Amino acid sequence: MLPNGNIVLEHDVFNVATTNWIPVNALRGQGEACWVKLPDDSILTVDGGATTASRFIPAQNQWVNDATCPVALYGYGFEEGGAHLLPNGKIFFVGGTVNTAIYTPSGSASPGSWVAGPTMIFGTNALGAVDAPSAMLVNGNILIAIGPTNGFQRANLVLRIRLHHQRLHPGERPHRPHLQQRAFRLHFSKSARRQHPLRRRPG
Domain range list for the chain = 7-198
Secondary structure E strands in the chain: 7-8, 12-15, 20-23, 35-37, 43-46, 53-57, 62-66, 80-85, 91-95, 100-104, 113-116, 121-122, 125-128, 134-136, 142-148, 157-164, 178-187, 194-198
State the pLDDT at residue 85.
92
DSSP helix/strand/coil, 102 = strand
The pair phi, psi for residue 78, each rounded to 5°, is 55, 35
Integer Cα distance of 16 and 29 in angstroms: 25
Tell me: pLDDT of 196 over 70: no
DSSP helix/strand/coil, 177 = coil
* pLDDT, tens digit, 9 for 90 and up, residues 38-96: 999 999 999 988 999 999 999 998 999 999 999 999 987 778 888 999 888 999 999 88
* pLDDT, tens digit, 9 for 90 and up, residues 127-173: 877 878 888 888 888 888 877 777 666 555 566 666 654 343 334 34
What is the pTM assigned to this prediction? 0.76
Residue 152 and residue 169 in contact, taking contact as beta carbons nearer than 8 Å: no
